[in-house]
Structure 1
Protein backbone atom coordinates (compact mmCIF):
# COMPACT_ATOMS: atom_id res chain seq x y z
CA UNK A 1 0.00 0.00 0.00
CA UNK A 2 2.88 2.40 0.72
CA UNK A 3 3.99 2.01 -2.88
CA UNK A 4 0.55 3.06 -4.12
CA UNK A 5 0.43 6.01 -1.72
CA UNK A 6 3.70 7.33 -3.11
CA UNK A 7 2.17 7.77 -6.58
CA UNK A 8 -0.17 10.62 -7.60
CA UNK A 9 -3.86 9.88 -7.04
CA UNK A 10 -4.82 10.82 -10.61
CA UNK A 11 -2.64 7.93 -11.79
CA UNK A 12 -3.50 5.32 -9.16
CA UNK A 13 -7.23 5.83 -8.66
CA UNK A 14 -8.37 5.16 -12.26
CA UNK A 15 -6.53 1.84 -12.26
CA UNK A 16 -8.19 0.81 -9.00
CA UNK A 17 -11.61 1.83 -10.33
CA UNK A 18 -11.06 -0.12 -13.56
CA UNK A 19 -10.23 -3.19 -11.46
CA UNK A 20 -13.52 -2.86 -9.57
CA UNK A 21 -15.47 -2.29 -12.81
CA UNK A 22 -13.89 -5.45 -14.22
CA UNK A 23 -14.79 -7.36 -11.05
CA UNK A 24 -18.42 -6.24 -11.39
CA UNK A 25 -18.57 -7.09 -15.09
CA UNK A 26 -17.21 -10.58 -14.39
CA UNK A 27 -19.80 -11.13 -11.66
CA UNK A 28 -22.58 -10.01 -14.00
CA UNK A 29 -21.29 -12.30 -16.73
CA UNK A 30 -21.49 -15.22 -14.29
CA UNK A 31 -24.96 -14.16 -13.16
CA UNK A 32 -26.27 -14.23 -16.73
CA UNK A 33 -25.46 -17.96 -16.85
CA UNK A 34 -27.69 -18.59 -13.81
CA UNK A 35 -31.37 -19.40 -14.52
CA UNK A 36 -33.77 -16.55 -13.72
CA UNK A 37 -36.09 -16.97 -10.79
CA UNK A 38 -33.92 -19.49 -9.00
CA UNK A 39 -34.70 -19.49 -5.29
CA UNK A 40 -31.12 -18.66 -4.41
CA UNK A 41 -29.01 -16.67 -6.83
CA UNK A 42 -25.49 -16.42 -5.34
CA UNK A 43 -24.03 -14.87 -8.49
CA UNK A 44 -26.45 -11.94 -8.30
CA UNK A 45 -25.60 -11.55 -4.64
CA UNK A 46 -21.90 -11.43 -5.56
CA UNK A 47 -22.66 -8.83 -8.24
CA UNK A 48 -24.46 -6.75 -5.59
CA UNK A 49 -21.42 -6.88 -3.32
CA UNK A 50 -19.13 -5.99 -6.22
CA UNK A 51 -21.45 -3.11 -7.16
CA UNK A 52 -21.26 -1.84 -3.59
CA UNK A 53 -17.47 -2.08 -3.69
CA UNK A 54 -17.37 -0.12 -6.96
CA UNK A 55 -19.76 2.49 -5.59
CA UNK A 56 -17.60 3.10 -2.53
CA UNK A 57 -14.44 3.25 -4.63
CA UNK A 58 -16.05 5.74 -7.02
CA UNK A 59 -17.27 7.87 -4.12
CA UNK A 60 -13.73 7.90 -2.73
CA UNK A 61 -12.47 8.97 -6.17
CA UNK A 62 -14.55 12.16 -6.34
CA UNK A 63 -11.60 14.40 -5.39
CA UNK A 64 -9.73 13.03 -8.43
CA UNK A 65 -12.52 13.45 -10.98
CA UNK A 66 -15.76 14.67 -9.41
CA UNK A 67 -18.12 14.49 -12.40
CA UNK A 68 -17.15 11.07 -13.73
CA UNK A 69 -16.72 9.51 -10.30
CA UNK A 70 -20.14 10.78 -9.23
CA UNK A 71 -21.80 9.35 -12.35
CA UNK A 72 -20.10 6.01 -11.80
CA UNK A 73 -21.03 5.96 -8.10
CA UNK A 74 -24.65 6.75 -8.97
CA UNK A 75 -24.77 4.01 -11.61
CA UNK A 76 -23.22 1.48 -9.23
CA UNK A 77 -25.66 2.53 -6.51
CA UNK A 78 -28.59 1.85 -8.87
CA UNK A 79 -27.26 -1.64 -9.60
CA UNK A 80 -26.61 -2.26 -5.90
CA UNK A 81 -30.12 -1.11 -4.90
CA UNK A 82 -31.88 -3.38 -7.40
CA UNK A 83 -29.75 -6.38 -6.48
CA UNK A 84 -30.34 -5.58 -2.81
CA UNK A 85 -34.09 -5.85 -3.47
CA UNK A 86 -33.43 -9.24 -5.04
CA UNK A 87 -31.32 -10.44 -2.11
CA UNK A 88 -33.98 -9.27 0.36
CA UNK A 89 -36.46 -11.43 -1.54
CA UNK A 90 -34.13 -14.45 -1.38
CA UNK A 91 -33.84 -14.12 2.40
CA UNK A 92 -37.57 -13.48 2.84
CA UNK A 93 -38.54 -16.50 0.72
CA UNK A 94 -36.30 -18.74 2.80
CA UNK A 95 -37.89 -17.45 5.99
CA UNK A 96 -41.42 -17.89 4.60
CA UNK A 97 -40.65 -21.44 3.50
CA UNK A 98 -39.43 -22.32 6.98
CA UNK A 99 -42.38 -20.62 8.69
CA UNK A 100 -44.84 -22.40 6.39
CA UNK A 101 -43.25 -25.77 7.13
CA UNK A 102 -43.28 -25.03 10.85
CA UNK A 103 -46.97 -24.06 10.71
CA UNK A 104 -47.79 -27.28 8.86
CA UNK A 105 -45.91 -29.39 11.41
CA UNK A 106 -47.89 -27.72 14.19
CA UNK A 107 -51.16 -28.60 12.46
CA UNK A 108 -51.80 -25.10 11.16
CA UNK A 109 -52.56 -24.03 7.63
CA UNK A 110 -49.43 -22.73 5.89
CA UNK A 111 -51.30 -21.45 2.81
CA UNK A 112 -50.75 -17.77 3.66
CA UNK A 113 -47.00 -18.34 3.86
CA UNK A 114 -47.16 -19.93 0.43
CA UNK A 115 -49.01 -16.94 -0.99
CA UNK A 116 -46.47 -14.57 0.51
CA UNK A 117 -43.68 -16.74 -0.90
CA UNK A 118 -45.25 -16.49 -4.36
CA UNK A 119 -45.37 -12.71 -4.01
CA UNK A 120 -41.68 -12.68 -3.12
CA UNK A 121 -40.92 -14.86 -6.16
CA UNK A 122 -42.54 -12.17 -8.29
CA UNK A 123 -40.49 -9.52 -6.50
CA UNK A 124 -37.29 -11.45 -7.27
CA UNK A 125 -38.19 -11.89 -10.95
CA UNK A 126 -39.06 -8.20 -11.20
CA UNK A 127 -35.74 -7.24 -9.59
CA UNK A 128 -33.87 -9.48 -12.03
CA UNK A 129 -35.66 -7.88 -14.99
CA UNK A 130 -34.94 -4.37 -13.65
CA UNK A 131 -31.32 -5.35 -13.12
CA UNK A 132 -30.92 -6.55 -16.71
CA UNK A 133 -32.49 -3.33 -18.03
CA UNK A 134 -30.25 -1.21 -15.78
CA UNK A 135 -27.17 -3.20 -16.74
CA UNK A 136 -27.76 -2.55 -20.45
CA UNK A 137 -27.48 1.17 -19.67
CA UNK A 138 -24.50 0.81 -17.33
CA UNK A 139 -21.48 2.72 -18.55
CA UNK A 140 -18.30 3.14 -16.60
CA UNK A 141 -16.68 6.44 -17.52
CA UNK A 142 -12.92 6.47 -17.44
CA UNK A 143 -11.54 8.44 -14.53
CA UNK A 144 -8.14 8.84 -16.11
CA UNK A 145 -6.86 11.23 -18.73
Structure 2
Protein backbone atom coordinates (compact mmCIF):
# COMPACT_ATOMS: atom_id res chain seq x y z
CA UNK A 1 0.00 0.00 0.00
CA UNK A 2 0.96 3.64 -0.31
CA UNK A 3 1.14 4.01 3.47
CA UNK A 4 3.50 1.08 3.87
CA UNK A 5 5.76 2.42 1.10
CA UNK A 6 5.83 5.85 2.77
CA UNK A 7 6.72 4.34 6.15
CA UNK A 8 9.43 2.14 4.67
CA UNK A 9 10.90 5.05 2.70
CA UNK A 10 11.21 7.12 5.87
CA UNK A 11 12.54 4.09 7.75
CA UNK A 12 15.24 3.49 5.11
CA UNK A 13 16.33 7.12 5.40
CA UNK A 14 16.46 6.75 9.19
CA UNK A 15 18.47 3.52 8.95
CA UNK A 16 21.04 5.17 6.69
CA UNK A 17 21.40 8.17 8.97
CA UNK A 18 21.75 6.09 12.13
CA UNK A 19 24.35 3.86 10.46
CA UNK A 20 26.28 6.91 9.27
CA UNK A 21 26.20 8.54 12.71
CA UNK A 22 27.35 5.39 14.48
CA UNK A 23 30.34 5.09 12.13
CA UNK A 24 31.66 8.52 13.12
CA UNK A 25 33.96 9.28 16.03
CA UNK A 26 32.50 11.39 18.84
CA UNK A 27 32.60 15.10 18.10
CA UNK A 28 30.81 17.83 16.21
CA UNK A 29 30.44 15.83 12.98
CA UNK A 30 28.84 12.95 14.86
CA UNK A 31 26.63 15.36 16.82
CA UNK A 32 25.36 16.81 13.52
CA UNK A 33 24.78 13.32 12.09
CA UNK A 34 22.87 12.27 15.21
CA UNK A 35 20.70 15.38 14.84
CA UNK A 36 19.93 14.41 11.22
CA UNK A 37 19.05 10.91 12.43
CA UNK A 38 16.72 12.44 15.05
CA UNK A 39 14.88 14.38 12.36
CA UNK A 40 14.57 11.20 10.27
CA UNK A 41 13.25 9.31 13.32
CA UNK A 42 10.63 11.99 13.82
CA UNK A 43 9.50 11.70 10.19
CA UNK A 44 9.40 7.92 10.41
CA UNK A 45 7.38 8.02 13.60
CA UNK A 46 4.94 10.53 12.13
CA UNK A 47 4.57 8.34 9.03
CA UNK A 48 3.39 5.46 11.24
CA UNK A 49 0.73 7.45 13.11
CA UNK A 50 -1.93 7.83 10.40
CA UNK A 51 -1.29 4.23 9.35
CA UNK A 52 -2.35 2.83 12.71
CA UNK A 53 -6.03 2.81 11.74
CA UNK A 54 -5.46 0.62 8.68
CA UNK A 55 -2.30 -1.30 9.65
CA UNK A 56 -3.02 -1.74 13.35
CA UNK A 57 -0.49 -3.10 15.81
CA UNK A 58 2.44 -3.44 13.38
CA UNK A 59 2.39 0.32 12.71
CA UNK A 60 1.91 1.06 16.40
CA UNK A 61 4.83 -1.19 17.41
CA UNK A 62 7.20 0.30 14.84
CA UNK A 63 6.13 3.81 15.82
CA UNK A 64 6.74 3.08 19.49
CA UNK A 65 10.24 1.71 18.85
CA UNK A 66 11.15 4.62 16.58
CA UNK A 67 9.82 7.02 19.22
CA UNK A 68 12.34 5.53 21.67
CA UNK A 69 15.14 6.19 19.17
CA UNK A 70 13.83 9.72 18.64
CA UNK A 71 13.83 10.30 22.42
CA UNK A 72 17.44 9.17 22.81
CA UNK A 73 18.51 11.34 19.88
CA UNK A 74 16.44 14.30 21.08
CA UNK A 75 17.97 14.12 24.55
CA UNK A 76 21.40 14.03 22.92
CA UNK A 77 20.61 17.07 20.80
CA UNK A 78 19.44 18.95 23.90
CA UNK A 79 22.90 18.39 25.38
CA UNK A 80 24.56 19.66 22.20
CA UNK A 81 22.63 22.93 22.47
CA UNK A 82 23.23 23.19 26.22
CA UNK A 83 26.97 22.51 25.90
CA UNK A 84 27.30 25.17 23.23
CA UNK A 85 25.54 27.72 25.44
CA UNK A 86 27.63 26.73 28.47
CA UNK A 87 30.84 27.05 26.48
CA UNK A 88 29.86 30.58 25.42
CA UNK A 89 28.94 31.48 29.00
CA UNK A 90 32.29 30.17 30.26
CA UNK A 91 34.18 32.16 27.64
CA UNK A 92 32.24 35.32 28.50
CA UNK A 93 32.88 34.81 32.21
CA UNK A 94 36.59 34.27 31.60
CA UNK A 95 36.79 37.36 29.36
CA UNK A 96 35.13 39.40 32.12
CA UNK A 97 37.67 38.15 34.65
CA UNK A 98 35.09 36.01 36.41
CA UNK A 99 35.53 32.36 37.33
CA UNK A 100 34.25 29.92 34.72
CA UNK A 101 34.59 26.80 36.87
CA UNK A 102 30.85 26.38 37.47
CA UNK A 103 30.14 26.60 33.75
CA UNK A 104 32.75 23.89 33.23
CA UNK A 105 31.10 21.64 35.80
CA UNK A 106 27.72 22.09 34.12
CA UNK A 107 29.32 21.40 30.74
CA UNK A 108 30.77 18.17 32.15
CA UNK A 109 27.35 17.09 33.40
CA UNK A 110 25.83 17.72 29.97
CA UNK A 111 28.70 15.81 28.34
CA UNK A 112 28.00 12.87 30.65
CA UNK A 113 24.33 12.89 29.60
CA UNK A 114 25.37 13.02 25.93
CA UNK A 115 27.76 10.10 26.42
CA UNK A 116 24.98 8.12 28.10
CA UNK A 117 22.55 8.74 25.25
CA UNK A 118 25.20 7.71 22.72
CA UNK A 119 25.67 4.46 24.65
CA UNK A 120 21.88 3.88 24.67
CA UNK A 121 21.45 4.46 20.94
CA UNK A 122 22.68 1.06 19.66
CA UNK A 123 20.20 -0.78 21.90
CA UNK A 124 17.29 1.52 21.03
CA UNK A 125 18.16 1.19 17.35
CA UNK A 126 18.45 -2.62 17.59
CA UNK A 127 14.91 -2.69 19.00
CA UNK A 128 13.57 -0.40 16.26
CA UNK A 129 15.40 -2.09 13.40
CA UNK A 130 14.23 -5.67 13.93
CA UNK A 131 13.22 -6.94 10.47
CA UNK A 132 9.99 -8.42 11.83
CA UNK A 133 8.67 -4.95 12.64
CA UNK A 134 8.82 -3.94 8.98
CA UNK A 135 7.69 -7.32 7.63
CA UNK A 136 4.58 -7.16 9.81
CA UNK A 137 3.53 -3.97 7.99
CA UNK A 138 3.20 -5.81 4.69
CA UNK A 139 1.28 -8.83 5.93
CA distance in 1, matches of 2:39, 2:56: 23
Q: 1:24 aligns with which of 14, 26, 39?
A: 14
Q: Which runs of 5+ in 2 are unaligned?
A: none
Q: Deviation of residue 141 (structure 1)?
A: 2.6
Q: Deviation of residue 137 (structure 1)?
A: 2.1
TM-score, structure 1 normalization:
0.88
- Counterpart residue number, 1:72: 62
Deviations 1:34-73 (A, max 9, x none): 113x256111001100000000000111112110010011
| Number of residue-to-residue matches in the alignment | 134
CA distance in 1, matches of 2:28, 2:43: 25
- Counterpart residue number, 2:134: 141
Q: How does 1:49-128 map to 2 (within 5 A)?
A: 49-128=39-118
CA distance in 2, matches of 1:59, 1:79: 16
Larger radius of gyration: 1
Q: Which runs of 5+ in 1 are unaligned?
A: 1-10
Structure with higher helix content: 2
